[in-house]
Structure 1
Amino acid sequence: MQLLRRPAARFVLLLVGLAVLGGLVALYGPPDAAAIDAYVSGSGRAAPLVAVAGSAVLTCAMVPRTVLAFVGGLLFGTLAGGLYVLVGALLGAAVAFGAGRVLGRDFVLARSASRAEGRIARLDAWLGRRGVFGVLAVRLVPLAPYGLMSYAFGTTGTRFRDFLAGSALGATPTSLGYAAVGAAALTASPTALAVGAGALGLLMLAGTWAAGWARTRLGVPGTPPAPAGAGVTPVTPAGTPPRP
């Protein structure tokens, strides 16, 4: 227990835990849709609660949220399935954020403090001020690892309320989109499947655009600013070459 009082030890524990969870998901794959269907269907009236709780647990285990939303659409339809998975994913994201904050925040804060002018410090400070935009830009990209990024945001200066707001705004359209694809697959409707897939493609483009917009318009730290006077052509009398 004395060892866990050290920020570096807690951070290593976080990394090991994430590696184990990621390894298990990679080894065994996401839960089988048929098994989930049988389990949830057998829960009767408690099926929505089981779907929410299961989505929360599987989100913490870093099972892709897209898979969960797809299965939710298969089981409950577009609207209900998407909302059940969204609520569960937000609960799981809150738990993952808390784990990242407890186990990794002190270590990252110490590293950024030791490099006060570095990129990590600037990004951490920006997320503390405008974290909702950073979270939203990440959540709008369906391919971004939802569970892993929830742990990662916990180690940054992002405020919890900003994290939840950005997650809710960004995850709602993708959750409903993948649920729509799942529901369309159940009904074997080519039109609905095409609409759902097209909507997800637009969301991916929107997420990419949002990330670029946040970087250029909101001052997201990236490339260090050029030194004063860099790129300025020296002014010399006509016909006189500038001095080296």
Structure 2
Amino acid sequence: MRRPAARFTLLVVGAATAALAAVLLVPDRDGLAAAFESAGELNPLLAVAATWVLILAMVPRTALAFVCGLLFGLGPGVGYALVGALLGASTAFAIGRFLGREFIDGVLAREHPGWRGALASRVAGLDRWLGRNGIIGVVAVRFLPVAPYGMVSYAFGTSATRYRDFLFGSAVGVLPSTLGYAALGAAVFGPSAVPVSIAILSGLGLLSLVVTIGLHRVRKNEPRPSPGPSRPDNLNMVRR
């Protein structure tokens, strides 16, 4: 148990260090503008790479989407912000899975007395649910505006959520807000520079689609009662 505990400690310390580095080392607006101006044709790659790294440092994703919209407009800004955010989320998920999953498994498998046992039982139930309904869980958390994008990505890596569910749920869950914040950033260039209403309507339409798919998956995964004996069998039993 010592090695999983050591890796989990490294995960916590590393995430906290990355967040502190983001606060102290992220360049200001003038520094970012100078970096993009000097990059020239490599600006798209720089935008994706910067978003990727800053997501790992738990910089707010919405702020990154706003900056991408400000610098590149709605369409390219959404694309660069979304690709960078998914790369950052995938990397954080992989780090969380490698450093934290074995430790969480060990903690949930042990017996705990009193209230700790009850808490561990509830967490284990949630963990099993995420293993079966990862897409719904990821989308629900991604829609919460107060859930830190990077920290949540590390946390999902330590859970039973499958990577494909995490990736799809992350893409669907962050697209509406990415559209919205990139539209706000693009609107800085002028009131007619970007159709903000289209971005909002697209986000609402995507949200309704996700809710419909989620409800369908929940109903599909619900245990069904075993069918009783057929009517002809009952008649044969009576005759006997």
Asked whether the two chains share a fold, i.e. TM above 0.5, the reply is yes
Residue 68 (1) aligns with residue 64 (2): yes
Q: Is the 8 A contact 2:134 2:165 kept in 1?
A: yes
Residue 99 (1) aligns with residue 102 (2): no
**Structure 2 gap ranges (5+):** 112-116, 220-240
More helix by proportion, 1 or 2?
Answer: 2
Residue 24 (1) aligns with residue 27 (2): no
Which residue does 1:232 correspond to in 2? none
Q: In the superposition, relative to structure 1, how do residues 64 and 92 fare at CA in structure 2: closer, same or farther (>3 Å)?
A: same
2-structure distance, mates of 1:151, 1:145: 10
Which residue does 2:169 correspond to in 1? 166
Letter paired with 1:112: L
2-structure distance, mates of 1:199, 1:29: 33
User: Which 4+ runs in 1 deviate beyond 3 A?
Assistant: 190-196
2-structure distance, mates of 1:45, 1:71: 18
- Superposition map of 1:50-61 within 5 A: 50-61=46-57
Deviations 1:107-159 (A, max 9, x none): 11111122587011101100001111100111122332101100000000000
Which residue does 1:113 correspond to in 2? 109
Q: Is the 8 A contact 2:142 2:173 kept in 1?
A: yes
2-structure distance, mates of 1:191, 1:141: 28
Which residue does 2:147 correspond to in 1? 144
Q: Is the 8 A contact 2:78 2:182 kept in 1?
A: yes
- Superposition map of 1:219-230 within 5 A: none
**Structure 1 gap ranges (5+):** 220-244
Give the percent of matched residue pairs that are identical in Structure 1 and Structure 2.
Answer: 51
Letter paired with 2:20: G
Aligned counterpart for 1:157 among listed residues 160, 165, 168: 160
Q: Is the 8 A contact 2:179 2:200 kept in 1?
A: no
Deviations 1:30-51 (A, max 9, x none): 5423322221232111111111
Q: In the superposition, relative to structure 1, how do residues 11 and 23 fare at CA in structure 2: closer, same or farther (>3 Å)?
A: same
Deviations 1:160-216 (A, max 9, x none): 1000000011111111211101111232x39969859x949x87xx79xx6xxx89x
| TM-score, normalised with respect to structure 2 | 0.75
Deviations 1:81-106 (A, max 9, x none): 11101101100111100000010000
- Superposition map of 1:200-215 within 5 A: none
Which residue does 2:42 correspond to in 1? 46
CA RMSD across the alignment: 3.1
Q: Is the 8 A contact 1:52 1:88 kept in 2?
A: yes
Residue 9 (1) aligns with residue 6 (2): yes
Q: Is the 8 A contact 1:66 1:142 kept in 2?
A: no
1-structure distance, mates of 2:193, 2:72: 19
2-structure distance, mates of 1:29, 1:192: 32
Q: In the superposition, relative to structure 1, how do residues 49 and 191 fare at CA in structure 2: closer, same or farther (>3 Å)?
A: closer
Q: Is the 8 A contact 2:131 2:162 kept in 1?
A: yes
1-structure distance, mates of 2:65, 2:39: 19
1-structure distance, mates of 2:140, 2:129: 14
Q: Number of residues paired by the alignment?
A: 206
